[in-house]
Amino acid sequence: MLHIKATDNSPEILLSPQKNSFFIRGKSSPEDVRAIYYPVIEWMKIFIDDILEGEFKNFNAENPLKFQIDLSYFNSSSAKFLYDILQEFKRLNTGGTPIVVEWISEEGDTDMIDAGTDISLLAGFDFSFITKKTGGQ
């Protein structure tokens, strides 16, 4: 498991195979984007190699690996690392492990929906787009 706590400018990141809980949420505009995302990419490479070698057998059609991206904002440097993370997941997808990527955005946030659509197309992944209600309604 890898858990990185959120700060004012960096997202909370949880990668927990045991709980099938994989998410990035919050705001992603850290000063040193590499310091945040390099450990995530390295962890992902090892985890995905383990799945491909048969160490994790709990992901299947009834229980796909679910990765949620729930960002209120991300900068272009963060977008590059989101793409890199999705490319790691793509290794699993082509290896037969089903993956569901959920792009979560606030109701009416067309910029985030457009960004998710662009990243989905670039990464070659179909996303499930989920809208959450904004507060106070």
- Mean pLDDT computed over every residue of the chain: 93
- What separation in angstroms does the CA of 13 have from each of 3, 36, 114, 130? 6, 9, 22, 19
Cβ(126)–Cβ(120) below 8 Å: yes
Residue type for position 21: S
Residue 137 is predicted with a pLDDT of 46
104, containing H or E segment: strand 99-106
CA 7 to chain centre: 18
pTM, full prediction: 0.93
Average confidence (pLDDT) over 84-98: 89
Alpha carbon distances (Å) from 14 to 93, 113, 133, 136: 20, 22, 23, 28
Predicted pLDDT of residue 135: 61
Tell me the C-alpha distance between 130 and 57, whole Å: 27
Span 40-83, pLDDT tens digits: 999 999 999 999 998 888 898 899 999 999 999 999 999 999 99
Closest CA to 15 of 54, 56, 72, 52: 56
Q: What is the pLDDT of residue 11?
A: 98
Q: How far is CA 64 from CA 52, 61, 75, 90, in A?
A: 15, 6, 29, 13
User: Does the structure show a pLDDT above 90 at 3?
Assistant: yes
Q: Which domains does the chain possess?
A: 2-132 (3.30.750)
